[in-house]
Structure 1
Amino acid sequence: MAIKRAFAVAVFALASAGASAQTAPVGLASGTLNARLNGDLTPVHDPVIIREGDIYHVFSTGLGPGSQGLIASRTSRDLVQWEKGTPPFERLPDWAVKAVPGAKNIWAPDIAYVNGRYRLYYAVSTFGSNRSAIGLATSPTLDPTAPGYGWRDEGLVVLSTPVDDYNAIDPAFFADKSGRHWLSLGSFWTGLKLFELDPRTGKPLKPSAKPRALASRPVPAGAPSIVEAPYIFAHGGYYWLLASYDYCCKGVNSTYYTVVARSKTVEGPYRGKDGSSMLAGGGTILLRADLQEKQRFRGPGHPGHFRDADGTDYVVYHAYDRENKGVPTLRIAPLRWGADGWPVAEGQ
């Protein structure tokens, strides 16, 4: 939610100052992708990944110096060795400054290639508030050396205010098999929501329509629903919903973890392997909570899905490194699909 994002910006900017971004994770199963990740891996919070040509791009919440503190960018040729990329923004868009007074950086971007342009959805908010906005920027390419490169800000997509029961952050785009476009979003308040988009503009198809509910967790009256960061993708005749439960942004004390559920329709209901509904706090754990805190990387969450050209599915996420001052660190795990049709994250 807005509280935890602002907290992350303050705490992890300090944590990363003394961290070595060139140290590869150790102590994992030999040969796993996460064990081999190297290069500029920190601080990474709320990552998403896409491939253009032979270059992989990761975008994440703005944590870092200069324009990396708006939206951070990293690139790789092999998913293993990562280096800083060219951030898409030099300053907050004027409309966002007016819509969300006091906003300083950009949170939880999402990236997709649609109709010949890359769509970068992003969130702007402030500490403790659901006065939040999701914006959209587009570019014909991600390569800053290519002709035509340049991010065009398309303005506001969704705005939430204190009169709304949701928080307009953590956007994620999805196009279903029938060609309908969707944007999932949400953090705390009453849970995760879904808007249908106009495929031409990338903005709500019916601006006055109320969003559909995707997920919520039962809580005492007046308390927030502790769920955020939805991400929908398709596999094996189902739509799959990823989401994060509990609290991030507490470094090694984070209790964040990731669940997965599936549905035959994009709008749900999404259910875990045991039949539990995401509308009632259900789902199946995909990335471990590790509440007893015996492992190096803790609080794995804010997942994004990526399918490579060879058909391999990956989940990209952040976790907090106990051996590196609790700094949020880039993590990528292949998804192995079991005989029961459910995914397992390898080498998480």
Structure 2
Amino acid sequence: PDVFFDKNGKLWMVYGSYSGGIFILEMDKTSGKPLPNQGYGKKLTGGNHSRIEAPYMLYNPETDYYYLYLSYGGLGADGGYNIRVARSKTPDGPFLDAEGNDMINVKADKDKPLFDDRSIEPFGVKLLGNFLFQRQIGDPGTGQGIGYVSPGHNSAYYDAETGKQFLIFHSRFPGRGEEHEVRVHEMHMNSEEWPVVSP
């Protein structure tokens, strides 16, 4: 779960997993507990065991959007974990991707086997996934090159003084199995006010 204050000072918690989806709850600033009579909270996306998890919310005062970062897929070296984002003008949605898809409609096909990643693949803006910058003859270093395998479960940070944003996540690496490490990459906003991760 991620607990955050919105731009008006209201406290929220976004949470969830691939079982039932991603939800948001309004929280009591004094007790730190959810306000009463919300049940699981308001659903934002996911469901039917779609592998969408690890939500993180980051408000950007320059764009006036709330960015909902999510991890799709399985986190193992063979799982295709990847980081996606959707955005909204309010912390409780609706969240849209760059194609205008409302993320509330994103969930696995209930008539397919569990963890049907293909049904959710077209939704959300993909920020980071498996890649390999292959080492060419004459390049420094050793091995096949530099890359990531199944990056995900991220958080994000906005530095109000500098206006810089960062993505913090764990990743596996080509040819290294399940070994994983934490990485930090700077993000930049493109002309459409979507974050782009610096390689």
Secondary structure of residue in 2 paired with 1:296: strand
Determine which of 170, 181, 192 is the counterpart of 1:340: 192
Determine if contact 1:290/1:299 at 8 Å carries over to the other structure.
no
What's 1:300 paired with? Answer: 151
Q: CA distance change for structure 1 residues 210 and 186 in 2, over 3 Å: closer, same or farther?
A: closer
Pairing 1:241–2:98 present: no
- 2:179 alignment partner AA: V
Pairing 1:283–2:113 present: no
Determine which of 40, 56, 59 is the counterpart of 1:231: 56
Distance 2:2 2:13 in 1: 6
Aligned residues: CA RMSD: 2.1
Q: CA deviation at 1:326?
A: 3.1
Secondary structure of residue in 1 paired with 2:180: strand
Q: CA distance change for structure 1 residues 208 and 296 in 2, over 3 Å: closer, same or farther?
A: closer
Q: CA deviation at 1:284?
A: 0.7
Determine which of 3, 16, 19 is the counterpart of 1:186: 16
- TM-score, normalised via structure 1 length: 0.46
- 1:185 alignment partner AA: Y
Distance 2:11 2:183 in 1: 28
What's 1:202 paired with? Answer: 32
What's 2:93 paired with? Answer: 268
Structure having the larger proportion of residues in helix: 1
Aligned pairs, number: 169
Structure having the larger proportion of residues in strand: 2
- 2:198 alignment partner AA: E
Aligned pairs for 1:1-348 (under 5 A) are 171-206=1-36, 209-216=39-46, 219=48, 224-235=49-60, 236-248=63-75, 250-251=76-77, 253-281=78-106, 282-290=123-131, 296-308=147-159, 309-347=161-199
Distance 1:300 1:215 in 2: 20
Secondary structure of residue in 1 paired with 2:17: coil
Name structure 1 gaps, 5 residues minimum.
Answer: 1-170
Distance 1:288 1:324 in 2: 16
Q: CA distance change for structure 1 residues 295 and 247 in 2, over 3 Å: closer, same or farther?
A: farther
Q: CA deviation at 1:328?
A: 1.4
- TM-score, normalised via structure 2 length: 0.78
Secondary structure of residue in 2 paired with 1:242: strand
Q: CA distance change for structure 1 residues 295 and 187 in 2, over 3 Å: closer, same or farther?
A: farther
What's 1:162 paired with? Answer: none
